[in-house]
Amino acid sequence: MNCAGLSKPDKLYIMKIHKALRPGLLLALNLLVAAAISASGQSLGTAKALPVNVSEHKLESKLMDRQMPYRVILPSGYSDAKNSSKRYPTIYLLHGLTGHYDNWTTQTGLAKYAETYQIIIVTPEGDNGWYTDSVSNPNEKYESYIVKELVLEIDSKFRTISDRAHRAIGGLSMGGYGAIKFGLKYPGMFRLAGSFSGALRAAQFSEKNSGAIGKAIANIFGPEGSEIRLNNDIFRLVTDITPEKVKDLPFIYLDCGTEDFIFSQSRDFSALLIEKKIPHEFRELPGGHTWPYWDRQVQEFLRLADRLFGPN
């Protein structure tokens, strides 16, 4: 368990609980602590002026019945008159549990890294919705609003190359699960789907095996064994895929720190992809469930996406 960013008394308290809890609740505690760490400092970041290439927007979502905020990072030269007809590939980056749409631009150097690429980057709001349409709240459609509303808005408001070959999605932790799920369920939309430290077994979490996190997830996915659970379990989606449909999938990118408490989920998923002969890349790297790790790996994802998009 990584307690970076916590005070010494908090660390001691967490470690005492860490030793006392049974495995199921321990997983929930680890997730909660890591989520709190990943979101820490957020208020300080949002108080600063936005970099010149970052802009704030709101989607009038009918599916969510409210405005959904997002940020856009535009490539260098986007507003130049000489580039007025130029169109660009798009990357969607999803945040983690307890985080928000602005995290990628406040907790990493993403805006600076983006200057190297001719790519539009979008960071949507996912709240704690696990990028899934909730079974208990009709206005919590965190999957549908992104794939049915947000992508259309981005393609209409900005000069994107609005085809599969020039669209990618990635995310960290909860967002890693969401990005891989979107890639598997909507292969016609994305050329690349990437997970950094992904909570890839999210649809298998329950109160029994994951404590408080599992209880919250049940409000979104429904009870264990339900159709919603099965339809959002990325391990099951891959297990059930037919060989003829493998060729339609986006390229899948996975990475996870070897000190990360959910490291085994990425390793297990990679093993399943190998078994099903699904093209992918899995990187096991030093690091934990932390922003310094994700700051490094988003740079790798940008490089990979740029290569796959090709010249534009």
97-132 confidence digits (pLDDT tens): 999 999 999 999 999 999 999 999 999 999 999 999
80-93 confidence digits (pLDDT tens): 999 999 999 999 99
Closest by CA to 130, choosing from 181, 67, 60, is 181
1 in any annotated domain: no
- Whether 138 shows a pLDDT value over 80: the answer reads yes
Which helix (H) or strand (E) is 28 found in, with range?
Answer: helix 23-39
132 in any annotated domain: yes
Which structural domain, as residue segments, surrounds residue 241? Answer: 8-309
Helix 23-39 / helix 8-20 crossing angle, nearest 10 deg: 160
> With contact defined as beta carbons under 8 Å apart, do 252 and 278 qualify?
yes
Query: What pLDDT is attached to residue 15?
Result: 41
Looking at residue 75, its amino acid is: P
Query: What pLDDT is attached to residue 23?
Result: 43
Query: What pLDDT is attached to residue 14?
Result: 35
Which helix (H) or strand (E) is 212 found in, with range?
Answer: helix 207-221
Q: With left for phi above 0 and alpha for psi between -120 and 50, is residue 21 left, alpha or beta?
A: beta
173 in any annotated domain: yes
Closest by CA to 127, choosing from 195, 220, 201, is 220
Domain count for the chain, please give it: 1
3 in any annotated domain: no
The residue behind tokens 């130049």 is 80
- Whether 164 shows a pLDDT value over 50: the answer reads yes
The predicted model gives 230-254 an average pLDDT of 97
Looking up residue 113, the CATH number of its domain turns out to be 3.40.50.1820
Closest by CA to 31, choosing from 232, 179, 193, 200, is 200
51 in any annotated domain: yes
**What confidence category does residue 213 fall into, taking pLDDT thresholds of 50, 70 and 90?**
confident
Looking at residue 179, its amino acid is: A
State the Cα–Cα distance between residues 142 and 70, nearest whole angstrom.
Answer: 13
Query: What pLDDT is attached to residue 49?
Result: 84
Percent of the chain residues topping a pLDDT of 90: 79
**What confidence category does residue 220 fall into, taking pLDDT thresholds of 50, 70 and 90?**
very high
The predicted model gives 154-175 an average pLDDT of 98
272-297 confidence digits (pLDDT tens): 999 999 999 999 999 999 999 999 99
Query: What pLDDT is attached to residue 30?
Result: 52
285 in any annotated domain: yes
Looking at residue 291, its amino acid is: W
State the Cα–Cα distance between residues 266 and 199, nearest whole angstrom.
Answer: 8
Q: Which has more confidence, 49 or 164? A: 164
> With contact defined as beta carbons under 8 Å apart, do 200 and 269 qualify?
yes
70 in any annotated domain: yes
Query: What pLDDT is attached to residue 301?
Result: 98
